[in-house]
A and B are shown apart, each in its own frame.
Chain A
Amino acid sequence: EPEVTQTPSHQVTQMGQEVILRCVPISNHLYFYWYRQILGQKVEFLVSFYNNEISEKSEIFDDQFSVERPDGSNFTLKIRSTKLEDSAMYFCASRSVGLAFGTQYFGPGTRLTVL
């Protein structure tokens, strides 16, 4: 069964550094998402992406965040200057249209630790 993959599984970085989290969505999916989960807290929506542009973003997704689909398979989340409070699990998700409309399939997550 196709699945969403994410790399790396764990990223440790120093405060102020830039990080890029990578995702490979399911190949025929058209909508892509990033969510984060601070340890012990709820999963929060960050951004959605369709047709090579951001379609919606939350208040969390400020100017230090950006997303990109650099090629036909990858979907990345960049955090320009990490802060301690960016430490969280980051989940990528994707969905298609048609029969599976509404179901987002999640990757295993990248745990980001900012020191």
Chain B
Amino acid sequence: GNSVTQMEGPVTLSEEAFLTINCTYTATGYPSLFWYVQYPGEGLQLLLKATKADDKGSNKGFEATYRKETTSFHLEKGSVQVSDSAVYFCALGPNNNDMRFGAGTRLTVKP
């Protein structure tokens, strides 16, 4: 079945550091891939998405490229800020209906 494996956290970085959060997936067919962000005390917000191979999703300085050959969708940002501290979820779907989420990676950015 469809599933997502995400690097475990927590991840702690200094401001302006480079961020990578790894995400790999297993899927049948051609799913869409997503990154959602959850800020403290809030719900899930769509950060970016890619709907087909080689697509790059980007938003707020974050990027992720849908790589079919490596079944990956790693999240990157060149220079993180304190305000980026949150939990990041990689997700896949929907082929049928349900979205499959990774376990989430907690990012803490220190000034």
Contact = CB atoms under 8 A, between A and B. Distances in A.
To the question of whether A and B form a pair in one complex, the answer is yes
A102 B96 CA distance: 10
B25 to A, nearest CB: 14
B101 A91 contact: no
Interface string A33-46: 10100000111110
A110 B72 CA distance: 31
Contact of B98 (A41, A48, A50, A105): A48
Interface residues of A, number: 25
Interface centre among A33, A43, A93 (most CB of B within 10 A): A43
Contact of A55 (B34, B43, B97, B101): B97
A43 B101 contact: yes
B77 interface: no
Contact of A58 (B32, B51, B89, B98): B98
B45 A106 contact: yes
A11 to B, nearest CB: 15
B100 A45 contact: yes
B36 interface: yes
B43 A91 contact: yes
A24 B36 CA distance: 20
A42 B103 contact: yes
B74 interface: no
13 contacts: A33-B97, A33-B99, A42-B101, A42-B102, A43-B104, A44-B101, A45-B99, A48-B98, A50-B97, A56-B97, A93-B99, A103-B32, A106-B45
